[in-house]
């Protein structure tokens, strides 16, 4: 050990350096242990927007690689579900559909629903699926659960083409309300993002979450008027229904595109507030848990 | 005094050891939360107390500074804290205590090919991997041709990388990484990729980077690379800095001496508590004199030395080869030799059970100094059993004196070897 002490003294000890105050020296980054809740850093997230784009692009590219049908899966999934729904709920179950042909009634709801369900599932599993990145490279972790939501939008856009075809087929043409459609798409994306943030961060800590997600999706679907119209929910329970943001989204879709249902009212407002609360809470929770990801995931 | 690129102050990192899957299950967390008030009131014992004993400091009170343009090599045994330090500096994990201040854009390469997706083509992976490493799209576009040229994957650039050979894959991955140009580059042991030719190219690229006035922090077990590239070396031991100097060679020496300190010896014994290899397990590895007695150290160069490997062969396999690698004191490999280096007819026939392998190191062949000898064994082209730099049993041969019989050659001459060669001189 004697030779090592000699060697250390060659370099001035850190305390000496600190004492010689150097006003000229500036640092661009300080790394230290964070405590408790951490401020959100959107500027950095914005700087990494290209990475976000590449990650979303990777998800899209990889999803249908080595499949025969390729991107048509994005159409087939909601389309097949629509057929099954039309047979069992529409024809056999005689579930009312507000006077709209049942196939388009359900397909119109399945689109935002699948956008939500797929994005949320993938977002919720994203941190675990990308653990090799988390333990090897630094970038704003928020990119990871966000990217699946963006790639979910791509699938949504593809499946939307079929809806346009179906609308021609059934001769249903939307009115001015169609301009509000982007709002509902955004609301669906925000909902999946909000839930995805909570789930992904918890998933990194407790793998129990992974097994909860499919169950959650299933349950949530029954609480959302995908297979049935919101009008069968008793009037004085509507506001409670609004606590489920996806109910607002699905009803909004039907109103904006098919036009025959009543316009969304107070329940939509409840949905929007609900999503905002979940999203902001999710962002802070995610940010707070961020420091544990690389060691625990 | 030139500007600092990095200032690290009493940086510490605590880890919980044991099972890697130490994430809590939901139930455990609930228990912790539920019993919190009881524990706070001192009614229940804190269950974390027991867990505390499993906490280790992977890094403890590490402080140092790096000036702009310096190339610093971090060396030390496995688990000394080098990689943890780099992980904190690359912001992958947070320190438990202390702080690090950085001035400049940081790029870190803790692995090559991070984020490579097997289904994507080489071209697509360049963009993805580049973005993950922090490059802008425009920057990748600009360097694209250069990256492809460097990687030598040529026409396979539009093939999914899952069809690449592992060499091609690594070359492409390294090429992307090599074209990252941050102000501060953090590199962890990524040079050991590809074949010898490509490694040489990587080293060249690294010294270019170092030469451009970039600040580089470099972790490697390749001591030659550290010596060639770095102008400052840091020796880490058990989470602390043991030595730091601009005299890179002296730090490397200290590292090798401390490696030697563990065994310090010209003999190696198998420790029975460790798990034996299923094919071949050396029990005793030592240096003897011509008569088969353990050679005293240091030894003279005028004596012949024998390496003796007393080993158990568990499973007879014709591909088994046993040998050694000898390294000079700066880590340079001098040569390696295997028991099957002769023609096939001359190979010894092995059966199950104890065998003693002996091989001679001629006198007046090595030079004065300390040589590190690693026992290596492998199933040829199939599997490494004892691999140099990883799990090879190691002994040391120290030679002092006995260099020659010539009165003109009394002191050590420079060079890895010091053989006495034959000369003939004829009048013409």
B337 part of a folded domain: yes
Question: What is the 3 state secondary structure string of chain B?
Answer: CCCEEEEEEEEEEEEECCCCCCCCCHHHHHHHHHCHHHHHCCCCCCCHHHHHCCEEEEEEEEEEEEECCCEEEEECCCCCCHHHHHHHHCCCCCCCEEEEEECCCEEEECCCCCCCCCCCEHHHHHHHHHHHCCCCHHHHHHHHHHHHHHHCCHHHHHCEHHHCCHHHHHHHHHHHHHCCCCCEEEEECCCCCCCHHHHHHHHHHHHHHHHCCCEEEEECCCHHHHHHHCCEEEEEECCEEEEEECCHHHHHHHHHHHHHHHHCCCEEECCCCCCCCCCEEEEEEEEECCCCCECCCCECCCCCEEEEEEEEECCCCCCEEEEEEEECCCCCEEEEEECCCCCHHHCCCCCCEEEEEEEEECCCCECCEEEEEEEEEEECCCEEEECCCCCCCEEEEEECCCCCCCCCCCCCCCCCECCCCCCCCCCC
| B389 vs B383: CA distance, rounded Å | 15
A286 part of a folded domain: yes
Chain B residues close to A59, C-beta within 8 Å: none
**Cα dihedral value A196, A201, A206, A210, nearest 10:** 20
| B344 vs B341: CA distance, rounded Å | 8
Amino acid B178: pLDDT? 82
Longest alpha-carbon distance in chain A? 91
Indicate whether B307 and B349 sit together in one domain. Answer: yes
A15 part of a folded domain: no
Indicate whether B282 and B207 sit together in one domain. Answer: no
- Closest A-chain CA to B140: A50
Indicate whether B56 and B115 sit together in one domain. Answer: yes
Count of structural domains, chain B: 2
- Give the B window 23-82 contacts with A, CB below 8 Å: 23-26, 29, 63-65
Last residue of a domain, one of B200, B223, B253: B253
Domain enclosing residue B318, as ranges: 267-399
Q: Are strands B97-102 and A29-32 parallel, antiparallel or unpaired?
A: antiparallel
Q: List the single residue in B108, B119, B131 with the smallest CB-CB distance to A54.
A: B131
Which residue, chain included where needed, has tokens 């984020």?
B115
Q: Which residues pair with B9 in a beta bridge?
A: B99
Task: Please judge whether B92 and A137 are an interchain contact, meaning their C-beta atoms are less than 8 angstroms apart.
Answer: yes
Q: Are B374 and B327 in contact (CB under 8 A)?
A: yes
A12 part of a folded domain: no
Kindly report whether the global pTM for this prediction surpasses the value 0.80. no
Amino acid A142: pLDDT? 94
Task: Please judge whether B243 and A31 are an interchain contact, meaning their C-beta atoms are less than 8 angstroms apart.
Answer: no
Indicate whether B236 and B280 sit together in one domain. Answer: no
Task: Please judge whether B99 and A136 are an interchain contact, meaning their C-beta atoms are less than 8 angstroms apart.
Answer: no
What's the CA angle centered on A150, arms A148 and A152, to 5 degrees?
A: 65
Domain enclosing residue A90, as ranges: 40-296
Distance of CA A135 to the CA centre of its chain: 23
| A27 vs A227: CA distance, rounded Å | 58
Backbone dihedral region of B81: left (phi > 0), alpha (psi from -120 to 50 degrees) or beta?
left
Q: Are B285 and B324 in contact (CB under 8 A)?
A: no
| B283 vs B310: CA distance, rounded Å | 6
CB atoms within 10 A of CB B280: 24
Chain A residues close to B88, C-beta within 8 Å: 31
| B111 vs B83: CA distance, rounded Å | 11
Task: Please judge whether B128 and A58 are an interchain contact, meaning their C-beta atoms are less than 8 angstroms apart.
Answer: yes
Classify residue A82 as exposed, middle or buried by CB count within 10 Å of its CB (0-12, 13-18, 19+). Answer: buried
| B284 vs B265: CA distance, rounded Å | 12
| A58 vs B108: CA distance, rounded Å | 22
Q: What is the pLDDT along chain A (297 residues), one digit of tens a residue?
A: 334 333 443 444 444 444 444 445 778 888 888 877 888 888 889 989 999 999 999 998 888 887 778 788 888 889 999 999 999 998 888 888 888 889 999 999 999 999 999 999 999 999 999 988 998 889 999 999 999 999 999 999 999 999 999 999 998 888 888 999 999 999 999 999 999 999 999 998 888 899 999 999 999 998 898 988 888 888 777 777 778 999 889 989 999 998 867 777 777 888 899 999 999 999 999 999 988 888 877
| A87 vs A79: CA distance, rounded Å | 13
Indicate which CATH number applies to the domain containing B301: 2.70.50.60
| A209 vs A199: CA distance, rounded Å | 7
B213 part of a folded domain: yes
Running along chain B, 428 residues long, what does each successive block of 10 average in pLDDT?
Answer: 84 72 58 65 50 72 91 85 90 91 87 85 92 90 92 90 87 86 82 67 79 85 79 90 89 75 66 69 88 81 90 86 89 90 89 90 89 90 82 85 82 86 91
| B133 vs B107: CA distance, rounded Å | 7
Amino acid B235: pLDDT? 92
A17 part of a folded domain: no
- Give the B window 121-180 contacts with A, CB below 8 Å: 124, 127-128, 131-134, 136-137, 160
Which phi and psi angles does B115 have, rounded to 5°?
Answer: 85, 0
User: Long-range contacts for A174-179 (Cβ within 8 Å, ≥24 apart)?
Assistant: A174/A256, A174/A257, A174/A258, A174/A259, A175/A259, A177/A255, A177/A256, A177/A259, A177/A263, A178/A256, A178/A257
Indicate which CATH number applies to the domain containing B16: 3.40.50.300
Q: Are B381 and B319 in contact (CB under 8 A)?
A: yes
Best mutation target among B8, B19, B26 (most A Cβ atoms within 10 Å) is B26
Cβ–Cβ pairs < 8 A, chains A and B = 151
Q: Are B59 and B206 in contact (CB under 8 A)?
A: no
Count of structural domains, chain A: 1
Q: Chain A within 8 Å of B413 (Cβ-Cβ)?
A: no
A29 part of a folded domain: no
Indicate whether B391 and B275 sit together in one domain. Answer: yes
Last residue of a domain, one of B226, B253, B280: B253
A219 part of a folded domain: yes
Q: What is the DSSP letter of A68?
A: S
Indicate whether B300 and B382 sit together in one domain. Answer: yes
Indicate whether B170 and B101 sit together in one domain. Answer: yes
Residues sharing a CB contact under 8 Å with residue A215, sequence separation 6 or more, in sequence order: none
Amino acid B192: pLDDT? 59
- Closest B-chain CA to A26: B103
- Closest A-chain CA to B136: A50
> For residue A272, what are its two tokens?
């929007």
């Amino acid at each position: 050990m004697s030779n090592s002490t000699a060697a250390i003294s060659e370099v001035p000890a850190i305390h000496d350096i600190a004492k010689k105050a150097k006003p000229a020296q500036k640092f661009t980054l300080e790394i230290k242990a964070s405590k408790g809740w951490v401020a959100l850093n959107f500027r950095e997230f914005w700087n990494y927007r290209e990475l976000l784009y590449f990650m979303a692009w990777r998800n899209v590219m990889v999803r249908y690689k080595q499949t025969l049908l390729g991107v048509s899966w994005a159409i087939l999934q909601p389309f097949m579900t629509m057929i099954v729904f039309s047979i069992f709920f529409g024809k056999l179950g005689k579930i009312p559909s507000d006077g709209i042909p049942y196939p388009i009634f359900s397909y119109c709801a399945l689109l935002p629903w699948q956008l939500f369900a797929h994005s949320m599932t993938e977002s919720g599993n994203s941190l675990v699926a990308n653990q090799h990145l988390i333990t090897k490279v630094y970038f704003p972790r928020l990119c990871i659960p966000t990217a699946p939501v963006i790639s979910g939008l791509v699938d949504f856009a593809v499946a939307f083409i079929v809806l346009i075809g179906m609308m021609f087929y059934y001769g249903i043409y939307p009115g001015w309300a169609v301009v509000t459609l982007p709002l509902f798409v955004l609301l669906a994306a925000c909902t999946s993002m909000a839930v995805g943030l909570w789930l992904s961060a918890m998933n990194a800590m407790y793998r129990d979450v992974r097994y909860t997600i499919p169950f959650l999706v299933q349950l949530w679907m029954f609480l959302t008027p995908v297979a049935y119209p919101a009008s069968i929910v008793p009037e004085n329970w509507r506001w409670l229904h609004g606590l489920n943001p996806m109910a607002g989204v699905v009803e909004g879709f039907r109103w904006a595109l098919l036009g025959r249902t009543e316009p969304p009212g107070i329940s939509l407002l409840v949905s929007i507030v609900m999503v905002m609360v979940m999203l902001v809470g999710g962002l802070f929770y995610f940010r707070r848990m961020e420091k544990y990801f690389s060691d625990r995931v | 005094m030139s500007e600092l690129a990095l200032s690290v102050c009493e940086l510490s990192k605590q880890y919980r050891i044991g099972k890697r899957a130490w994430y809590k299950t939901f139930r455990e967390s609930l228990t912790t939360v539920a019993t919190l008030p009881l524990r706070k009131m001192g009614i229940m014992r804190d269950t974390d107390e027991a867990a505390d004993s499993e906490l280790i400091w992977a890094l403890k009170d590490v402080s140092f500074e790096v000036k702009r343009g310096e190339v610093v090599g971090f060396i030390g045994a496995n688990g000394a804290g080098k990689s943890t330090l780099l992980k904190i500096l690359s912001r992958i994990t947070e320190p438990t205590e202390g702080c690090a201040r950085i001035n400049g854009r940081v790029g870190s390469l803790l692995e090559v090919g991070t984020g490579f997706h097997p289904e994507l083509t080489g071209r697509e992976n360049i963009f993805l991997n580049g973005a993950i490493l922090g490059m802008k799209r425009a920057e990748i576009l600009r360097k694209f041709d250069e990256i492809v040229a460097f990687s030598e994957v040529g026409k396979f650039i539009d093939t999914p990388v899952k069809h690449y050979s592992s060499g091609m894959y690594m070359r492409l991955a390294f090429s992307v990484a090599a074209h990252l140009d941050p102000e501060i580059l953090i590199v962890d042991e990524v040079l050991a990729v590809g074949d010898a030719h490509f490694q040489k190219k990587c080293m060249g690229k690294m010294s270019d980077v170092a030469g451009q006035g970039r600040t580089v922090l470099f972790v490697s077990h390749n001591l030659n690379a550290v010596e060639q590239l770095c102008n400052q070396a840091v020796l880490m031991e058990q989470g602390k800095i043991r030595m730091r100097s601009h005299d890179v060679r002296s730090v490397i020496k200290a590292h090798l001496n401390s490696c030697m300190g563990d065994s310090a010896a010209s003999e190696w014994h198998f420790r029975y508590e460790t798990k034996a290899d299923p094919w071949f397990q050396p029990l005793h590895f030592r240096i003897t004199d011509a008569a088969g007695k353990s050679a005293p150290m240091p030894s003279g160069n005028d004596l012949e030395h024998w390496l003796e490997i007393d080993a158990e062969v568990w499973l007879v396999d014709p591909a088994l080869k046993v040998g050694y690698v000898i390294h000079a004191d700066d880590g340079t490999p001098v040569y390696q030799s295997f028991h099957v280096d002769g023609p096939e007819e001359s190979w010894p026939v092995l059966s199950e059970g104890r065998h003693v392998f002996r091989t001679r190191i001629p006198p007046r062949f090595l030079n004065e100094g300390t040589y590190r000898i690693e026992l290596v064994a492998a199933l040829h082209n199939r599997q490494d059993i004892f691999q140099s730099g990883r799990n090879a049993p190691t002994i040391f041969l120290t030679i002092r004196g006995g260099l020659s019989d010539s009165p003109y050659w009394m002191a050590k001459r420079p060079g890895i070897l010091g053989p006495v060669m034959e000369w003939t001189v004829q009048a013409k």
